[in-house]
Structure 1
């Protein structure tokens, strides 16, 4: 935490920042700090931070910037975007919810639309002063933010909650960690206690974690959502159910888990789901066709991609190369679809000859399960980034390194 945010003056919390952030294009935060030092009843660096944050925040959390909320740099960076927070809120509902890791409160704001009351905890009392003031500005009067440690609250709680949400802080004192057992609050140490006053836990974890490992570690999982935005995986959400806790047959329980892949946008969400038991499928393999498909990253991360490709009769290039080919165009494919111009076995000489014969000097390059890095391929070929041509490098089911030249139109 930045030192000055350990004691935030009320004069700043209650300050009207609108004249400054409304004309944000006129300010350079460093120059602003130098020019206006000593002119406000608080450290001008607080205001300079808002000038740095607001250009991004207007897109990420527009409801908050629309009422001129105040943010700390760390709480802003760790906060959910509004669209992801609202997606989470669409998964749950009830009378009351407990959030064990409140942070900036964007998730609380979204949950407050699905519950009559949200109780939110954070150990940072200074941040909580800002958050309470932001909630007043935005009109979220059914959220109670407490200065509380999750463990202490859980040990002393006597209230019942319909749902409990936890976004464990992945940043410890020394480094960022992605191991579930190293996060705070630690779900393993408090899960049984939580089930004394809730039947449903929604847990957000790092997208770096392995989905299958999560099922084995956590057990009693009802559903998992791998959530992306603009095809970048942002988070994994896990519904842990008390009902599943009472299941005696773990293998039978795992088969009933529902796996979801979701891409969230401002206008609509793309979604595919299957029971865990239906995910194991035997693909067909091919390395040529009229159309080339790259499944969305949420499909790949959730391990739903093979089943999704098979549903639409798309052959995989290889077991560990999740690209697909088909002679049929699939409308509204969940991912990227291209016309396939050429597929050939990779060699350095053949690639250079092909590029020269087709006058390709610029291309978008991607690779999966291929020994060379994209930077090495660019160095080898001299290709520049961009343009209308796409080159995918991978390894097919026969173990051969292969190049796919594809595009989004009828020409080359």
Structure 2
């Protein structure tokens, strides 16, 4: 709950701005006081009257309004958290470069409150080097990020840049405003998510599937989307870690502020992981193919009329988790993942002992977890098992990052 918390909601120009009406409703339902600032672009998509009706507060939109009762400095000092949703490419650029030419950008430059941004823009704009550099600069300064997601756009077009859904933004708000020593998703945690407790630490994260070629056309793979692993990399970076993300082939956007190494096969992933050492933390979230074809065909295997299907001789892939767990440069904390379809905790407990890692994050993937937006995990350690509730994958990532920071502290 957000009782007695003051949220300043900055709405910038994006067709996704209609979603902030639902976000404002959720924030009010969680007992927060919501004040809204509407940019000129944002006013093209939602009205002052709609925002005022839901928040119950006057909406601010003019830096120079003669009748303004609250100046920009007072607005900057007012909130416990500033939430920019949607955060357009233009406003993110202003934030990164310290520009202040309207009410929203002036408040963002003057505020001392923590800031959470929810980017929303065309995929080409999100992936542009300028936007990536702006996001990296903001993350380095401690700005929190939720999303963007992958999906259909208004153009019509599809790709990374879709505004995070209101419940996901709400979860990020609750995490950002958790009292010191407590996280809303991790009872007993001793660190505040608003700090940077992992500053000076190097985290190695793997994510996505591996593709093991059969021939130049076909491959063996797992169903991983990379959403959970990429979210973990972003959450660790938000807590101050220097993050190396070794990613198999995925369609999700790179988390801001991390170094991404792209690979295809398990052998390439292992080589990239070893090259990234030393590291303080290793989170092996990738769904690595256990087997590969022993001899990849140089040409496409052709189907012949009347002929039997080709026989594929399989070979074991290297065990990346076990290798890092026993490596001469073993990270101080090694976290593995176990995607199971039955006896989840039992199999994960056995896997932790067999691999030699410190923790296993286990989940049941018999449903729609792979490629989905939510996850329910169990954390298996030498001390026992923690059963976490189903959460958005971003919230799972943040909770895990806080748990890691607590342990390393």
- Give TM-score scaled by structure 1 length: 0.35
| Larger relative contact order (Cα-Cα within 8 Å, sequence gap ≥ 6) | 2
